[in-house]
Structure formats: structure tokens, C-alpha cells
Chain A
Amino acid sequence: MKLDYIARETFTNLRRNVTLTIAAIMTVAVSLALFGSTLLLNQGVDNVSARWKDGITLIAFLKSDITDEQRDAIETFIDEHPEVERWRYVDREESHAEAMRLFDRNEAMKQRLEANPELVPDSYRLTPTADDVDLMASMGEELAAMPGVLQVTDERESVQTVVGVSEFAQRAMLVVGIGLLVAALLLILNAIRMAMYARRREIEVMKLVGATNWFIRVPFMLEGIVQGLIGAIFALGAVFALDRFMQRAAQHEDYRAIMEGFVATSGELWFTVVVVLVLGVVIGAAGSGWALSRFLKV
């Protein structure tokens, strides 16, 4: 009986306050959509950065039939160049692990990689001392011409641009997201306050006849939590849409090289989902808890 009482009261409150409830839900939705998107992008940027960690900007992929002499020649060539601060040899196993991570949700690609491990070649990864694009470019051309080298990529500029833009976007979204989160909290606070006002006579009678504080509070707490949760569910719609957009972009010929790193793994996507839902519940509980502690006197 307690359960159906609580469910009934919570639902009645939500319905009675419909405009304020909708405003609260929408604000939660927008703020959490921004938050969730930031989180998703942030993890994408981490993926990209991981690939270029240590400031690696030049990658020389090697042919699978490369000989030891050709390898030695390449290493000597690199060592002779003072503008290379350090370099690293990445073997097939590491490259394979990296590719599997990048293509976490691209089953077709994963299967192809599993079947033909040689698709992902070994590579040398070089970090320059100077930030001299031309020098690196000319060195890259020389490297590419050496026997045993499959291909040389210098994705520094494009990656930096994308990372830079995305970091700016993230920061802007975070600021707006936090602002809206505060607005959402205040709206929930007010929605609960209105609900308490609408039910002030009931509350008065409940206190008089000896209803416990817990009993009086629960429907209002639940009302706030439901608002937060519904907002979070709408926000997840936006997060999934963003994720799909990123996946599409990553499949597009022109942006593939840059975008594929940005696609979050399924683990990261679910992490974002959980964070958004928890945040929704927390905002709802905090808003209603705040209203109750301020306006419900024992």
C-alpha cells in the first residue's frame, strides 16, 4: 500500500506541475546532452592523442617482406638526422592491438584484421626536435624512397587542427553545459517547491497525524529524480546521434584518416551512458533534496 501511495503521489505531482516539469526536464536534457557529448568527444580525442602520444608526427610503415639490411639502413638514416629527437619501432603486435582498438565497433574491419594480420604493417615512429614542417616533409620524402618502406604519413597538421577545434568545442560545451546544469538544478528546486506549495495542506495534515519525514519526502524526492532521469534519457538520444554521426564521418573516404580515431569504443560509449544517467538522477535528487531541506520544516 505504501508503494502504490508513493507512486500515485509522485505521478500526481508531476502532472499537476506540468509546465515547470517540462521546463526542468528540457533543461536537464540539454545540459546533459552537452555534457555527454563533451565526454564522448573527449574520449575520442584521447584515442587520437594516444596514437600520436610522445609527439610522434611521422610514421614510416614497412613492407612485410623487409629485410634486416633494409631495416638497418633505415635506422642508420634516422640516427643521422639530428632533427629527429627520438624514434620508436612499433612491431606488428602493437600495431594490431592499436588497430583493433580503433575499429572496436567496426566488426567487418575487425574480422579482416583478424584474418590478415599483415594488413597492419610494422612502423617507425619519429618525433622531431624542431617544429619544422618543411624539414619533416623533406625527410619523409627521403624515407619513403628507401627500400622496404611501404608508405610515410605525416598527419600532424590535420590532426592538430581537428584536436584543436574539438578541444575548443569541448570547452565551450562544458561551460554551457555546466551553466545549464545549474539552471536545471534551480528549475527542479522550483518545481519541487511549487509541488510542495500545491500540497502544503496535505503536508500540514501529514505532519499533524504523525507521518514520518521519510514518508512525506519520498514522493517529492522521486518527483525530482524522475525529472532528472527523463531529462537524462532525452540527452542520451543526442549522445547516440553524435556517436552515429562520428561513425558515419569515420567511414567517409575524405575524413577517414582523421575521424576514425574519434569514434569512441563501445566501452567508452556505455561509460558515457552511465555517467549521463547517474548525473540526471543526482541533479534530480539534489534539486528536490535542496527544496525539501529549505522549505519542509519538521
Chain B
Amino acid sequence: MITFENVTKIYKGNVEALRGVSATIEKGEFVFLVGPSGSGKSTMLRLINREETADKGRIFVAGKDIARLSSWRVPYLRRNIGCIFQDYKLLATKTVYENVAFALEVIGRPRNVVKTQVPAILELVGLESKADNLPEELSGGEQQRVSIARAFVNRPLILLADEPTGNLDPATSVGIMRLLDRINRTGTTVVMATHDRSIVDTMQRRVIELEHGRIVRDQARGVYQ
């Protein structure tokens, strides 16, 4: 589903964020990206949905070399990739329902699809009762559920999560991980960057460890270490 072939990413100012990274992630896998701050985890995620482009090497997503996608096709790549973040990125002026509906509206989904899909996904994340609340009226965990609902409402093939539990207490984090696990079981490939040792250790999934932009460990059913 995702293949990195010798990928190097150099930011402005000659910062080498990734140096010759190679890895293959199969469809339906759940992968943790771990490593110290600045090791290149977020960079890997941003390369997958082409927020950034690689300077060397090739990246394949769903069989396509994404460097070769013309810019007008990038949005269609992104429709297959959901993203969640530590800071949720919810729109403060929109209700929970509107935040999720927004993701479908702006890709031109018809009204009736929005009307059936949004309540269904809110039920999946357990927030049907909060549909009309604003994000500021929710707890951090609930906000992250909304952001998961928004990322998943279009049933993407891949879900990228950049420290989704970074702002949450351990008990709430467990709830979020259960949700991500459920999503993974529907066949969605999940790639999650995290610093959360206990989550990685309890989930027992594949772990890719980065250090200074290199993969130093790639282990099935691994631990944080």
C-alpha cells in the first residue's frame, strides 16, 4: 500500500530530515513510527500525502509513484488518505456535525451522502449526542474522536496519525487507540507516529524506529524499547 524506496528529504537550510529510508507497508497493516524528536516521523507522514515531496528516491502509494502525480491529481490522492493530528485541527466556528460534513462537502459529495454518512460515522466514534456542540465544548478525547470521524468519513484506504494521543491522558488515549484499532480492522492501513511508550507496548504491532532520518529498527509485533 505504501512503499518508500531510498527516500531522502532535505528541507530548506540543508536539514536532512530523512536519509535513504526504505520500507514497505502492506494493506491493512498497523504501523507505529517511533524515535526521538526531530528523527523524521512527521516528515514521513507528510511525504505520504504529498504535503512534501522527496528529494531523492521514490514513494508509491496504492501502486502509484506519487512524485509523478500532476498537481491537480494530488487532491484525489488525498481523498484516499485520512489524517489526524495532536492538535485535532477542528474548525472552531463549526459544530461537530458541520466539521465532519465539511470534509464531504468540499470534495463535492452529494447532500444525501452527507446526510447518511455523517450521523453513521458520529455513531461509530460514539459522539452522536454531541453533534450540535462546538469543539470548545468537548474534552480533548472527544475532539480527537471528531477529527477521526472527519478523517474516516470518506472511508480512506490509509489513515495517518501524527501523535494523536499527544495531548491526552492515558485513559483517554486507550479509548482513542481502541477506535483506531477498530478502524484498522475494517481493512484501513494505519500509520501512527508516537512517543507513547505504553501504547506501543500494549498494542504489539509493527514498529519502525527512526533516528536522525534513518530507520534503525523495523520489527513486527514490536515494542517502544
Q: Which residues does A use to contact B, with CB under 8 Å? A: 1-2, 5, 201-202, 204-213, 215-216, 298
Contact = CB atoms under 8 A, between A and B. Distances in A.
Interface residues of B, number: 27
Given A1-B110, A201-B89, A209 B74 contact: no
Given A202-B91, A211-B107, A212-B72, 15 more contacts: A1-B110, A5-B106, A201-B89, A201-B91, A202-B102, A205-B89, A205-B91, A205-B150, A208-B89, A209-B78, A209-B103, A209-B107, A210-B75, A210-B76, A213-B71
Contact of B74 (A1, A2, A5, A298): A298
B77 A1 contact: no
Contacts of A210: 75-81, 107, 154
A216 B108 CA distance: 12
A209 B79 contact: yes
A209 B150 contact: yes
Interface of B: 49, 71-72, 74-83, 89, 91-92, 102-103, 105-108, 110-111, 150-151, 154
Given A298-B71, A298-B74, A211 B89 contact: no
A298 B70 CA distance: 11
Q: 5 tightest A-B contacts by CB? A: A210-B78, A210-B79, A211-B106, A209-B103, A210-B75
A212 B106 CA distance: 8
Contacts of B106: 5, 205-206, 209, 211, 215-216
Task: Give the secondary structure class of A's interface.
Answer: helix
A60 B145 CA distance: 93
Nearest to B110: A1
A208 B78 contact: yes
Interface centre among A1, A5, A206, A210 (most CB of B within 10 A): A210
B84 to A, nearest CB: 10
A5 B83 contact: no
9 contacts: A1-B108, A205-B89, A205-B106, A208-B89, A209-B79, A209-B102, A209-B107, A210-B76, A213-B72
A212 to B, nearest CB: 5
B44 to A, nearest CB: 16
Interface centre among B76, B92, B106, B110 (most CB of A within 10 A): B106
Contacts of B107: 209-212, 215
Nearest to B153: A209
Given A208-B83, A209-B150, A5 B91 contact: no
A2 B74 CA distance: 20
Contacts of B79: 209-210
